Amino acid sequence: MKNAQAATEFLMTYGWMVLVVLIAVGALAYSGLTNRDNYVPGYCFFEVQMPCIELPYYDNGKISFSLKNVFPKTLVITGISVKDDFCGQNINPKVNSNPLPIEILQDKLMGVEFDCDTLKSSFDLVVSIEYRHKDFNFTNSVTGKIKGQVYN
């Protein structure tokens, strides 16, 4: 009988401590303290074929960031769009300061830029880039997510 009582007291004592720790972790997760987006000023995630090289930034009504063409062929960038028309219908997209369409050679950087003057303090956008291989006529797209701060 004594062993059973000792085991029950042990489980009750440490069981309450485990419950308190679980409640504390749950409260931290609920309050957003464990969300990395609250602490990272900006990020850029695109698919493997076009990795981000430079974080997005906002300057004078334009959002800019850099991607790299890691396809084994030259690409022709034919379009850039922002999901849900967050920046409006006419975003005036440019790559390397040139209007679309534009060719991007293999292993070369492309500076993507588009107008977005509806921002207040930060942006968190889903961007789609349409492209085709120089030698083929079918169009593909790559989608990515960019986040940054507005410093004006």
pTM greater than 0.85 (yes/no) = no
Sketch the domain layout of the chain as residue ranges: 2-34, 38-149
Q: In the chain, which residue ranges form alpha helices assigned H by DSSP?
A: 2-31
Q: What is the pLDDT of residues 86-118, one digit of tens each?
A: 787 788 899 999 999 999 999 999 999 998 877
Q: How far apart are CA 54 and CA 36, in angstroms?
A: 19
**Is there a contact between 75 and 133 (Cβ–Cβ < 8 Å)?**
yes
* Fold held by 38-149: Immunoglobulin-like (2.60.40)
Please report how many Cα atoms fall inside a 13 Å half-sphere around the Cα of residue 88, on the Cβ side: 12
CB 57 within 8 A of CB 49: no
Rounded Cα distance between 43 and 127, Å, is 13
Segment 5-64, tens digit of pLDDT? 888 888 888 888 889 999 999 998 888 777 766 677 789 999 888 999 998 988 888 899
